[in-house]
């Protein structure tokens, strides 16, 4: 079956509850598969660490309903238990709609929902809130409620009576505790590698579930789906010559979907980790380079001093294909401002500088202006944008180096990205594995490279 953990709004405690259940299940010897609704990169890193298995994103808007269905049943059926963490508020989708929302995923997969509510400062009003969410959509099953930031035993008893009056099961109460708060930064929760004492945190999360959740009621809810085939298993592996691909992997570049690397490996493009922060040359066998997103602005001063890495990147760009998205694209520019506004030199492959700007977030529809590494003129692709940095350059909007035109909810149609014969660079994140065409064209580009 599995269950979806949702909330009325972000910041209610979804991730803390999910981590507690994952850590407890793992401590009891259960194999549990975590899922995350939406295009999130940071929460899945934490869920990975707690479960000991790669978290899989369930994103209807980015990947389509068929992929989400196959991913849930395929990956979920490999474990004993499964758990889905929602995104934002339960019914929050694109713009003011429910498209791609946690509720939409729960209904598509026919999963019950547990609502985690920040109960701080609430009493009888909790009943109205729960009734509203329960009755808003008759096609959605609300299996129970977990209350977060409950201040005392008296507060707990009061809220339990309120829930009993509206016929809603109480599945647990998490105490108010700053000690359990998850650190955040400017794009959400801090990455998993920045958490202090991870093994101790796992123990504390597991103990939180053991002491404050009704686990006898949770176990049946978390039973994994019985059967399914992971989406990548439906793609025949390539047995031809290998074409290794370097991928930036360190504290500055770590926004990756697990399925991308898995699919590349399946298509005979093994990944070669490369750390720009280590100031090292690129792997000699690499036929192409992937620069994923991350937080290069947080490490801009150190990156600017990595002369070997930056020089290697400049030379590589003259000979081999490069795919760069979001933070990865910033490494290709002339200058990058750090969190304090100080400018630092980057590789200088593309003619722009980057500084802090307004938040840009949302799904985007992209239409390429010309044939490129991954897409062809006239095609269309769905992606996601999420960043606070902006590019400064004097390129006209009609320039041939514009990668594509993008459009989102109330954004208008604007030119975006940099496309050359060897480079695909954009703010937009793509989910390669849900469109195997991307990996196929990437392999074609590697095979056509005259300088292996």
| Half-sphere exposure of residue 377: CA atoms within 13 angstroms, side-chain side | 5
Would you call 326 a catalytic residue per the annotation?
A: yes
Could you say which of 63, 306, 326, 439 is catalytic? Answer: 326
C-alpha span between 355 and 391 (Å, rounded) = 7
The residues annotated as belonging to the active site are 326
């Amino acid at each position: 079956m599995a269950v979806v953990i949702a909330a009325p709004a972000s910041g209610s405690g979804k991730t803390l509850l999910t981590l507690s259940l994952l850590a407890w299940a793992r401590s009891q010897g259960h194999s549990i598969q975590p899922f995350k609704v939406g295009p999130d990169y940071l929460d899945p890193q934490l869920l990975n660490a707690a479960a000991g298995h790669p978290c899989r994103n369930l994103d209807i808007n980015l990947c389509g309903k068929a992929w989400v269905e196959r991913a849930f049943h395929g990956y979920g059926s490999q474990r004993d238990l499964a758990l889905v963490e929602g995104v934002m508020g339960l019914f929050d989708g694109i713009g003011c709609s429910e498209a791609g929302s946690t509720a939409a995923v729960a209904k598509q997969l026919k999963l019950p929902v547990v609502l985690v509510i920040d109960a701080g400062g609430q009493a009888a009003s909790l009943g109205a809130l729960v009734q509203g969410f329960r009755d808003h959509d008759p096609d959605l099953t609300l299996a129970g409620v977990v209350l977060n930031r409950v201040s005392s035993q008296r507060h707990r008893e009061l809220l339990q009576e309120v829930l009993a009056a509206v016929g809603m099961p109480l599945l647990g109460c998490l105490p108010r505790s700053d000690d359990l708060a998850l650190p955040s930064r400017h794009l959400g929760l801090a990455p998993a590698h920045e958490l202090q004492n991870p093994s101790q945190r796992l123990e504390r999360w597991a103990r939180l579930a053991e002491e404050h959740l009704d686990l006898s009621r949770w176990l049946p809810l978390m039973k994994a789906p019985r059967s399914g085939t992971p989406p990548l298993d439906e793609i025949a592996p390539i047995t031809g010559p290998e074409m290794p691909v370097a991928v930036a992997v360190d504290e500055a570049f770590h926004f990756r979907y697990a399925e991308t690397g898995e699919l590349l490996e399946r298509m005979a493009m093994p990944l070669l980790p490369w750390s720009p922060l280590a100031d090292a040359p690129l792997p000699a066998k690499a036929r192409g380079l992937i620069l994923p997103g991350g937080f290069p602005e947080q490490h801009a001063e150190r990156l600017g001093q990595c002369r070997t890495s930056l020089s290697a990147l400049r030379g590589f760009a003259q000979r081999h294909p490069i795919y760069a998205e979001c933070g990865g694209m910033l490494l290709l520019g002339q200058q990058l401002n750090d969190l304090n506004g100080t400018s630092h030199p980057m590789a200088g492959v593309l003619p722009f500088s980057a500084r802090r700007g307004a938040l840009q977030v949302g799904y985007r529809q992209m239409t390429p202006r010309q044939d490129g590494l991954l897409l062809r003129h006239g095609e269309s692709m769905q992606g996601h944008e999420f960043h606070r940095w902006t590019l400064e350059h004097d390129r006209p909007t009609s320039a041939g180096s514009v990668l594509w035109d993008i459009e989102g909810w109330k954004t208008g149609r604007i030119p975006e990205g940099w496309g050359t014969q060897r480079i695909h660079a954009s703010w937009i994140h793509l989910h390669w594995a849900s469109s195997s065409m991307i990996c196929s064209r990437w392999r074609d580009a590697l095979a056509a490279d005259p300088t292996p």
